[in-house]
Amino acid sequence: MIELTRISGKKFYVNADLLEFLEATPDTIISLTTGKKLIVKESVDEVIELIIQYKNKTLRNWELHGNEKSKINSVTK
């Protein structure tokens, strides 16, 4: 999940995996795979950076903890 800001200033979180595409019109419009559209204060570049940070964090967590289950299974077999 990434934290974004509505035009009204209210913060909210969105599942970064649901983002389909971004538009700058000049407001940033996010289209989700669900068909919903969101208008946010962050620029397209800022949203992309948040997505990259989220994906990197997810990958690091998987690298650190994702293989623990397979290690446990191989030990118990």
Number of domains in the chain: 1
The enclosing domain of 30 has a CATH number of: 2.40.50
Provide the residue range defining the domain that includes 56: 2-76
In this prediction, residue 63 carries a pLDDT of 82
Tally Cβ neighbours within 10 Å of residue 4. 21
pLDDT, tens digit only, all 77 positions of the chain: 999 999 999 999 999 999 999 999 999 999 999 999 999 999 999 999 999 999 999 888 888 887 666 555 555 55
pTM for the full predicted model: 0.78
At residue 72, the pLDDT reads 57
Hey, what's the torsion of the CAs at 17, 53, 38, 22, to 10 degrees? -80
